Amino acid sequence: MITLIIVLLLVFPASLVSVQGTKRKSVRSHGLEPLMVRPSGRPLGVPKLSGYHSLPMLTAAPVRSLYRKIPYAPLVPSGKQKEAALSGGRAWAEINLDHLRHNAEELQRIAPSATRIMAVVKANAYGHGSNEIAEELSRAGIGHFAVAEIGEGISLRKHGIRGEILILGYTSPGLAPELARYQLTQTLVNREYGEALEAFGISINIHVKIDTGMNRLGEPYQDMKSIRDCYRFPHLRVTGIFSHLSMSDSQGETAREFTQEQMRRFDEVIRKLKAAEINPGRTHIQSSYGILNYPGAGYDLVRPGIALYGLLSHEGDQVQAQADLRPVLTLRAKVTQVKEVEAHHPVGYGLNFVPSHDIRIATVSIGYADGIPRSLSEHGGYVLIRGQRASMIGSICMDQLTVDVTSIDGVRQGDTVTLIGQDGEETLTACQIAERCGTVSNEILSRLGSRVERTFQNE
C-alpha cells in the first residue's frame, strides 16, 4: 500500500494538492463511485485487519484526492448518457403519461361531479412505477392515493407525494409511529385492531373497513356496535369508511343482484352511523368495474386501479359506461442473437422444442424473472418484431426467451421486440397475454420486475 502511494505521488504530484474552497466535481458524473473513507482511514466495505489503523489518515486522503482528480475515460455512462443507454438496453417499459391523464379524466367524467378519484398505485402502480405515476396524477389534480402496505406509502411520501395516502391492507400495530410520522391513513380492519393501534396513544388517521359480503377484511356490516366503537378511539381519527365489491366486474343477473346488495348494506351502515350522530367520513366502495358498471352510485370517492392504466381485467369485458381507455404501458426488449437451427436440433431446456424443419430463431432479452409468464410459450405466446408476429418456442428462461423468425425478413441483433403494445399494424395487449395464461391483466402488469427499466413519456 505504502509503495503504491509513493509511486502515485511521484507520477501525479500536482493531483495531490488540496485546494480549499474549490467546489468538487462529483465523481459520479464520470460514471465511477468514489472510494468512501471513514474518519479512521478505513474505506467503507473494507474489513478491519490487524495493523490497518497504523496507516495514517494522511495516506488515505491523498489517494482519495488523487482518485477524484486524475483524468480518465468514463467506464460507465452517466446522466443523460446513462439514461439513454438504460432505456434502450435490455428490457424496458414505455409509460405514456398522456394516456394516464386521459384515463383519469375519462373516469372522472363518468363519475358524479362531486365524486373524487382515489388513484390506486399499489404493486408499483400495477407495474408502471408508483412514484412517477403518483407524481403525474398529483400534477393532474388528484389528491387521494391508495397503496397495499406501509412501505409503498412511505416511498410515496419520500418522493414528495402529498395528499391522502390510504393503506388498504393491514399494518403491524408496532409501526403506528411510522404511520403518524409519514401521515399515512390506515385501514381499520376491525375493532380489535383499533384497540391495538390505540394502545400506542399516537394520533393516526384511519378509514373503517366494512365487510359487506366479500368476507376478506372489515368489520361485518351487521355488527353496528363494533362499527360505532371504531369511531370512539381517542387517538384514531376516522376520515373515511369503505367496502369492496366482489362481483362488480360481471354483468350476470346474480352478480348484479349481489353487488347491489353489497351497496345496500354499505348504505345502511352509513345511515345508522348518521342516525347515531356519527360522521362516517368519506365514503367509497367502487373500484374500476364498480365505476364503469355502476357510474351513478354517488359516493365521495372512487378507487380506479386497472382502468386507470387503460385496461380491463379480461379481454372483451362489457361494461355499462362508455369509456375511451388507452393503455399506458408498452413493454419491449431486444434481439440479442439470430441463428439458423437445422431440423431435429433442439432449442432451449429439456428438449421441449425440436423443429421438424430448418428454422431461423431469435433470442430475446427478457424472461420470467422480468415478469413474463413461463407458461406463455406453452399456450401460443408470441412477440412482435418488425411489425410481424414471432411465435415463442421452447421454454421461457429466467432472463431470455426464443422466438421463430423464419418468416420475418431481415431480423438482426439489436432489433426491438414488442411484448406488450403496438408495432406497425399489429398490437399485443396485456389482456391477450392474460387470457392465454388463464389470469387477469392486473397480474400480468403488476408482476413486471425491477430489472425492467421504466421510461416516462409524453406524446
Residues with catalytic roles: 122, 349
Residue 42 is classified by DSSP as P
Amino acid, single-letter form, for residue 286: Q
Backbone angles phi, psi at 412, to 5 degrees: -145, 165
139 Cβ contact list (under 8 Å, min separation 6): none
The CA distance from 50 to 9, in Å, is 26
Work out the angle between the directed axes of helices 150-158 and 130-139 (0-180°, nearest 10).
Answer: 60
Q: Which residues pair with 382 in a beta bridge?
A: 391
Could you tell me which of 258, 206, 259 has the C-alpha nearest to residue 234?
Answer: 206
C-alpha 222/C-alpha 244 separation (Å) is 16
The string of DSSP codes covering 162-194 is -SEEEE-S---GGGHHHHHHTTPEEEE-SHHHH
DSSP string, 81-113: HHHHHHHTSSEEEEEEHHHHHHHHHHHHHHS-T
Three cell numbers, residue 388: 410481424
- Judge contact between 248 and 294, C-beta under 8 A: yes
- Residue 70, exposed/middle/buried by CB under 10 A (0-12, 13-18, 19+)? exposed
